[in-house]
Every structure is written in structure tokens, then in C-alpha cells.
Amino acid sequence: MSAQGSGPVRKPLPSGFAEALGGRFGEAFQTSEAILAQHGSSESHFATMLPDAVVFAESRDDVVDLVKLCAAARVPIVAFGAGTSIEGNAAPVQGGVSLDLTRLNKIVAVNAEDFDCMVQPGVRREELNQHLRDQGLFFPIDPGANATIGGMASTRASGTNAVRYGTMREAVLSLEVVTPQGEVIRTARRARKSAAGYDLTRLYVGSEGTLGIITEITLRLHPIPEAISSAVCGFASLKGAVDTVVQSIQCSVPLARVEILDAMQIRAVNRWSKLDYAELPTLFFEFHGSPSGVAEQVETVKALAEANGGGEFAWSNLPEERSKLWRARHEAYYAAVNLRQGAVGWATDVCVPMSRLAECIERTHEDLIGASVPATILGHVGDGNFHVVFSLDPNAPDELAEVEAINARLVERALEMDGTCTGEHGIGLGKQDWLIAELGDAVEQMRLVKRAFDPQNLLNPGKIFTLWAAPRPWRSR
């Protein structure tokens, strides 16, 4: 499915607007080609789309003042973090100002007794966990990339730990948000639950910066487990690997992480990370708990794996060994893209009910076997979510068309199984029509919310769904 127009084409900045930004923000206002290019690109396969200017916010007041200036001049604003999004979520399709929030990077407070913390949006995931380690706490949401917390909240990120600890939907307790009118609101207090009015926190989480700009996040934390053990196990078939995961969950095994990598992805990981795993469908496991609890989990999963064609478990119990294992998993995207030199990555994802997961993965694998484009399957199968990564020749339009067709079949398959077109990448630019196919008239309710919150359509316009039918000013590479 091709996406339709996202709204008016980009316009030049109003006369005197750049001077006003320079006068207010000084060196934090940038228009150099290198800075614009950095903020117009991402990990996605979409072409670079340049903003007209970049502003590096260093305080909440900077965000408020920028929003008010842009609102008065009707100039679009796109919040920008680490630039690791997959679906063009932060691409400035209508130009305007890219608001870089990476300098808003303070850990404001850690309330160890309450298992929560307050951070600014530019704090990186790994940085937060390093800060928390000495207090025996950790933040479990791990999308792989060292993303900013603000970006993770905006895209409702999840990742390898989601099967046990949930996603950003569960992790975010409260938000401080600057509205499109330049007002500052807080969506909730620090209480673990509340029945006070609309759940604005959940509305902003996953809204991809289209409703407000997040300037502070209150997060739920967890104690570092007493015992942690990781393992790798190869399987004779993809079905056997998936069945092992489904049966483990049916047996109430509290898996902390369980990732699937098909044989092609293992080949890519071996080359990229200098490993020597057998090129078989493979599961990466991690178990958390007490020593006795972890031992019990391991025995249950080993028995299920053996019954489903699994081989020996290769253990990684020391911290440095576990770090190496999960670093290889986190770099799997780059490993897949680099299956051939000079390639461009196209990553897509779906999520289906657990009972349909094996069928969905097997049918997808059959599609990839017959494809001319190298591609891999990997994902967080503990919650029914998996990814396909294509290694595209950017100078071969026929490959782009082939991948678009395979992606369409994948998403249609997931929707037929009552799944979703995206488990964690978000909608951004790439899956807008699929959102309509998935939710139908409910998308119009989303449009009503957008129009009510942001009547000028200034915050990240052209994302998630369309408000107008004009041609979209972007194209795939």
C-alpha cells in the first residue's frame, strides 16, 4: 500500500523568523548544511529531508519560547532525539525547525524507595542504567539502540525485555509536556495508579511528537535481579524455536528476554560480531530471579527446547559474556544490512497473537527464501513481535518494488491474524495506510484529537495519519 498526501508542501521560513530565532537562541540556533543533514536523516530507508533550521534546547523555557515563536509564525516543529527511528518518525517533511532535545539530559531525581525516577528527554537509556546501578535499580526497556528516553516515550518503544517488563506504555508514570500553544502541563503525579480523569500520559506516549513536546518523564524502575543467566540455543527449524517460546509462556516461565534469529541473521551476526554460532534458527534467552528460581526456569525451558528440536544450551553467565551476547543482538540490524557492501537497510515489524506466531514467521520465511534481496528475521517473540530486515541496493529500483510487495504481504498476513502492522517501530511515514487498514474509522478519532490539540498542525506534521490530500514531499531512496 502506498501512503497518501500528508498536507501542504513545505514553505520557506517567514521573513525575519530566522533572525528572531538567532536573537533568542544564539549559538543554539544552527543552519549549517552538516547540522541540517544530521537532523534530516535517520536509520530508516527514507530519503534525507532537511529542516530549515535546528534549535538545540537547553531548558524547558527554551522549548516554550520556541513553540510560541513557531506558533505565531505558523512554522512546523519536529522534536529530535537520537535519530534512531525506523519509520521516518522524526523526518521534517514540511521543513520548519528541528528541535534537538539531546542537551536536555539531566537525571532530575531518583526515588529509590518508590522505584521511580524523573529524567529529561535527552537522557540516553544506557546512561540512565549506569546512573542507577549503584542503587540496585535498573530501567528495563531496551529497544536495542541507545535511544533517548524522550524518543522512546514518543514512539512507545519496547524491545528485548518487553516479555517480562512491558513497554514504555507500562514504564511511564507521568509526563511534563509543552503543548502546541506553549503551555506546560503535567499529565499525572507519581502515584502508581490513578482514576483522575482522562489518561493523558498514555495518550502522549506513542503519539510521535504530534500532540506535544515532552520535557520531563517519570519512569517506573525495577530492582536488579539477584541472579541473571543468558543462553543461546540453535534449532532444527524455525517452528521448533517459536513453539519453545510459546510453550514456555504457557508454562508460566517468567522469561526476561527471548529473541529469535533465523539462520540468515545468525550468519550476519557471526560475520559482524566475530562469533561462531551454528547457522541455524536460534533463540537468545535471559532468565532473571533468585538462584533457585532461575535454575527452575532453565530446566523447564531446556526440556521444552529439546522436545522441539533444540540443541545444547551455550551459557553466558558472567556479566562480560552476557554483554557480548546482547551487544551482538542489538547490532543485528547493522549486521543484516551489511550482508552486502553499500546496501541500505529497510526494517519492518509486525506483532500477532502468540497462537499465530509460528505460522506467521514460517510463511514470512517462505517469502524471503524466494526473494532476490537478502533479508533476515529476528525479533522479540515472547510477545509475538518480530522484524524483517532487508539489505537493499540503493541503485536498484526493482529491489525497492520487490521489498514493498513482500512488506505488503507481511502486514496483510499479520492483520488477517488479528495482529498489528507495527509492534514497536510506530507509524511515522511508512505505515499510514496500514494503520487505516488495521483500525478503520478509529483513525478519524485520532485525527479529531490531533485537530483539538494542535489546530495549526505544527507539531511533526505528516506523521501517523494524514489531515490533507496534497502530495507528500518525500520519497524512498
Q: Please indicate, yes or no, if residue 443 is contained in any of the structural domains.
A: no
| pLDDT, position 371 | 95
Per the CB < 8 A criterion, the answer to whether 290 and 227 are in contact is: yes
Per the CB < 8 A criterion, the answer to whether 235 and 264 are in contact is: no
At residue 468 the predicted structure's pLDDT band, cuts being 50, 70 and 90, is: low
| pLDDT, position 407 | 96
- Distances in Å between the alpha carbon of 77 and those of 139, 168, 458? 29, 23, 6
- Work out whether strand 375-379 and strand 385-392 pair parallel, antiparallel, or are unpaired: antiparallel
Percentage of the chain modeled with pLDDT above 70: 96
Per the CB < 8 A criterion, the answer to whether 141 and 158 are in contact is: yes
At residue 440 the predicted structure's pLDDT band, cuts being 50, 70 and 90, is: very high
Tell me: do 384 and 277 sit in the same domain.
no
At residue 9 the predicted structure's pLDDT band, cuts being 50, 70 and 90, is: low
Distance from C-alpha of 56 to C-alpha of 31, rounded to nearest angstrom: 11
Per the CB < 8 A criterion, the answer to whether 111 and 26 are in contact is: no
**Total residues belonging to the chain:** 477
Burial 114-143 (b: 16+ CB within 10 A, else e): eebbbbbbbbbbebbbebbeeeebbbbbbb
Domain ends where: 273, 301, 333?
Answer: 333
Tell me: do 120 and 213 sit in the same domain.
yes
Tell me: do 232 and 313 sit in the same domain.
yes
Q: Is the pLDDT of residue 3 over 60?
A: no
Tell me: do 126 and 198 sit in the same domain.
yes
CATH number at residue 388: 3.30.70.2740
Q: Please indicate, yes or no, if residue 166 is contained in any of the structural domains.
A: yes
Tell me: do 271 and 219 sit in the same domain.
no
Reading phi first (left if > 0) and then psi (alpha if -120 to 50, else beta), residue 208 is in: left
**Sequence-ordered strand ranges (E) for 8-104:** 29-30, 53-56, 77-80, 97-100
Distance from C-alpha of 302 to C-alpha of 233, rounded to nearest angstrom: 9
Per the CB < 8 A criterion, the answer to whether 219 and 294 are in contact is: no
Q: Please indicate, yes or no, if residue 469 is contained in any of the structural domains.
A: no
Distance from C-alpha of 244 to C-alpha of 307, rounded to nearest angstrom: 8
Distance from C-alpha of 107 to C-alpha of 117, rounded to nearest angstrom: 8
Q: How many helices (H) and strands (E) does the chain have?
A: 17, 18
Distance from C-alpha of 410 to C-alpha of 14, rounded to nearest angstrom: 44
Tell me: do 180 and 243 sit in the same domain.
no
Beta pairing partners, 23:
none
Q: Is the pLDDT of residue 472 over 50?
A: no
Domain that holds residue 373: 340-431
Tell me: do 130 and 183 sit in the same domain.
yes
Domain ends where: 176, 205, 223?
Answer: 223
Tell me: do 119 and 204 sit in the same domain.
yes
In the numeric block, the cell 548544511 is attached to 33
Domain ends where: 303, 333, 363?
Answer: 333
pLDDT tens digits along 138-157: 999 999 889 999 999 999 99
Among residues 149, 215, 186, the alpha carbon closest in space to that of 157 is found at 149
At residue 265 the predicted structure's pLDDT band, cuts being 50, 70 and 90, is: very high
Q: Please indicate, yes or no, if residue 35 is contained in any of the structural domains.
A: no
| H or E stretch covering 282 | strand 282-289
pTM above 0.85, yes or no: yes
What's phi and psi for 316, nearest 5 deg?
-135, 90
> How remote is the C-alpha of 229 from its chain's centroid?
25
Distance from C-alpha of 62 to C-alpha of 57, rounded to nearest angstrom: 5
| pLDDT, position 301 | 97
Q: Please indicate, yes or no, if residue 326 is contained in any of the structural domains.
A: yes
Q: Is the pLDDT of residue 30 over 70?
A: yes
Q: Please indicate, yes or no, if residue 419 is contained in any of the structural domains.
A: yes
Tell me: do 275 and 317 sit in the same domain.
yes
Distance from C-alpha of 451 to C-alpha of 441, rounded to nearest angstrom: 16
CATH number at residue 160: 3.30.465.10
pLDDT tens digits along 311-356: 999 887 788 888 889 999 999 999 999 999 999 999 999 999 999 9
Per the CB < 8 A criterion, the answer to whether 152 and 137 are in contact is: no
Tell me: do 148 and 200 sit in the same domain.
yes
Query: Which pairs from 288-296 meet CB under 8 Å and 24+ separation?
Result: 288/164, 288/225, 288/227, 288/228, 288/254, 288/256, 289/225, 289/226, 289/227, 289/254, 290/226, 290/227, 291/226, 291/227, 293/227, 294/227, 294/228, 294/229
Q: Please indicate, yes or no, if residue 439 is contained in any of the structural domains.
A: no
In the numeric block, the cell 490530500 is attached to 469
Structural domain count of the chain: 3
Tell me: do 296 and 244 sit in the same domain.
yes
Q: Please indicate, yes or no, if residue 9 is contained in any of the structural domains.
A: no
Tell me: do 259 and 326 sit in the same domain.
yes
* For residues 95-108, average pLDDT: 98
| Tally of CB atoms within 10 A around 299 | 11
CATH number at residue 311: 3.30.70.2190
* For residues 269-294, average pLDDT: 96
| pLDDT, position 477 | 35
